[in-house]
A = this chain, B = another copy of it.
Amino acid sequence: MITSALQTARKAYQPKLPPVLRQGPGAVKLQLGAPTESIADSQKVRALFPLTYGQPVAEFVAGATASGGPLTVGVVLSGGQAPGGHNVIAGLFDALKAIHPDSRVLGFLGGPSGLVEGKFIEITASLLSGFRNTGGFDLIGSGRTKLEKAEQFQKARAVLEKNGAGAVVIIGGDDSNTNGAVLAEWFKAQGSMLVVVGAPKTIDGDLKTPQIPTSFGFDTAAKTYAELIGNIERDARSAKKYWHFIKIMGRSASHLALEAALQTQPNLVLVSEEIAQQGTTLAQLTVQIAQLVDARARAGKNFGVAVIPEGLVEFLPDVKKLIATLNDLLAHEGPAFEAAPDQAAKEALLRRHLAAEVAATFFALPAAIRGQLLLDRDPHGNVQVSRIETEKLIAEVVGAELVRMGSKAKYSALTHFFGYEGRCAAPSNFDADYTYTLGYVAALLVQGGRTGYIASVSHLTKGNDHWVPGGIPLTQLFNIERRHGEDKPVIRKALVELDGAPFRQLAAHREAWAKGEEYVYPGPIQYWGPAEVCDATTKTLELEQG
């Protein structure tokens, strides 16, 4: 296999551990704090997790730990790719081998289903060497199977026990770690000593609590998107004739779009959470953007850059209602819809069934978007929201609005979607170090028998020498939410907070960014060179951690 020059050079990079871990597992001990409470609904959460609720926060401090025997630990990559996943496995491997050379890591294949079905490979030093500091999850693959049912838990237990594994590390987002906590509780309830430890993964940045300042992958993905936005800003400012609408991945939270915008200062960035809070409709948003385009045109600037979060449409109340109505309607009128031969016929059916207000929302959409709403449906017959080209939708409706308002703007729009470009980028120095540390910490939590914990590192903004590794009991992150008509204990998804420092930073500057070209060009991620270039964290982390 040919590897690129960069990949070959990065193979030799030794990720930096926080000081307390640098002398190896024998020189660090687990220190437990006071018992914890869940962030909300503590009685209900306690009732659901009688055996693992309220465990103390764990911190690693200098001190001697008796050398133990070999440990065998399974590892699972769950959900979407995020830069640094391989380094979590590398950190886990190195720590376990340092604890005892006969320790083993079993990599379950294709995500949680590999654990349930007993499909795995043993991670060896030589196998791992080609994957250190690389992006992607291709070492063992990932998957979206949800570990939720007792039947799955039973199988997972049998698989782990049969292979002599005493623990499983689940690298995943809020859902996967929610399920990890349930699995930990279930193992205990069954009298099993199996340990479940999590690691906070998601480029979306929505697995975030006071104890877990950021999820891994967010740093690299945001910087990759910011590189591209910056390049496009430079092009916009040079060519002076295009409006660029750039959609940025992030299923519902706008963290990635906001972070990329804080790094690049475009003329406009939409934040779904603000739009939802203000109840802005698509029509209102369209007018706002058209007015911005018009105002710039009046100043002789027929160009600009707008950043749009992927989840936007579901936060616009009118579009949200339209989608819900369509899902209901398609459920009831499915056969008639299937029978309609083309988009025009389907739309004729809609005219008969939709209430006037909803119909108005629908028919105000460009034909291509209407097609995406009607034709691209998932296996359950629902509208595939992720297939909606929001960036084109916005570009088109703004164009129509400019005509309607009689604007003299020369409006030529180009659209972009950045997502897959960042999910598997090679991890930045920050993510490479952070993920390696998380994996190392996960091994120590396993050694300490801390089931139902998630590996954590705090004080992340102050440079690696100040990082503090530890473990957070998962139940501390829980609250109760209604899901499909049921109360469920879940890790609360962290959306952008409108009174948080990153959003306030945007709010304080966006008027100036809209009018001028205060573009910033971050350029590509650098691995060598001045520390302020290579080792900076995200603006979000910097602002949130003060």
Q: Name A's B-contacting residues (CB within 8 A).
A: 1-7, 9-10, 81, 134-138, 141-142, 224, 227-228, 230-232, 234-235, 237-240, 242, 244, 263, 265, 344, 368, 371, 414, 416-417, 420-426, 518, 520-530, 532-533, 536
C-alpha spacing A527/B6, complex, angstroms = 12
Q: Quick one: which of B136, B240, B344 contacts A235, CB cutoff 8 A?
A: B136
Which of A134, A235, A240, A422 counts the most B-chain CB atoms under 10 A from its CB? A235
Q: Quick one: which of B4, B518, B526 contacts A520, CB cutoff 8 A?
A: B4
C-alpha spacing A403/B422, complex, angstroms = 32
Contact indicator B9/A532 (Cβ below 8 Å): yes
C-alpha spacing A524/B224, complex, angstroms = 9
Contact indicator A420/B414 (Cβ below 8 Å): yes
Contact indicator A523/B420 (Cβ below 8 Å): no
Contact indicator A234/B4 (Cβ below 8 Å): no
C-alpha spacing A81/B231, complex, angstroms = 11
Residue of B nearest to A2 (CB): B520
Number of copies: 2
Contact indicator A7/B142 (Cβ below 8 Å): no
Q: Quick one: which of B9, B240, B368, B426 contacts A141, CB cutoff 8 A?
A: B240
8 contacts between A and B (CB under 8 A): A4-B230, A5-B532, A5-B533, A9-B529, A134-B521, A136-B235, A368-B371, A524-B525
Contact indicator B135/A4 (Cβ below 8 Å): no
Contact indicator B137/A421 (Cβ below 8 Å): no
Contact indicator B522/A81 (Cβ below 8 Å): no
Contact indicator B2/A135 (Cβ below 8 Å): no
Contact indicator A231/B4 (Cβ below 8 Å): no
Q: Quick one: which of B6, B230, B416, B530 contacts A526, CB cutoff 8 A?
A: B6
Q: A4-B522, A529-B9, A533-B9 are in contact. Are A231 and B239 (CB under 8 A)?
A: no
C-alpha spacing A423/B424, complex, angstroms = 23
Residue of B nearest to A522 (CB): B4
Give the residues in chain B near A421, CB-CB below 8 Å: 228, 231-232, 416
Give the residues in chain B near A426, CB-CB below 8 Å: 521, 523
Contact indicator B526/A136 (Cβ below 8 Å): no
Residue of B nearest to A343 (CB): B367
C-alpha spacing A1/B134, complex, angstroms = 35
Closest 10 CB pairs of A and B: A524-B524, A528-B529, A234-B424, A136-B234, A6-B523, A235-B424, A137-B238, A528-B528, A136-B238, A4-B522
Give the residues in chain B near A141, CB-CB below 8 Å: 238, 240
Q: A2-B265, A2-B520, A533-B6 are in contact. Are A231 and B368 (CB under 8 A)?
A: no
Residue of B nearest to A221 (CB): B231
Q: A421-B231, A530-B9 are in contact. Are A521 and B138 (CB under 8 A)?
A: no
The smallest beta-carbon distance between A519 and chain B, in angstroms, is: 9
Contact indicator A527/B529 (Cβ below 8 Å): yes
Residue of B nearest to A233 (CB): B424
Give the residues in chain B near A6, CB-CB below 8 Å: 521-524, 526, 533
The smallest beta-carbon distance between A423 and chain B, in angstroms, is: 5
Q: A231-B224, A425-B231 are in contact. Are A81 and B238 (CB under 8 A)?
A: yes
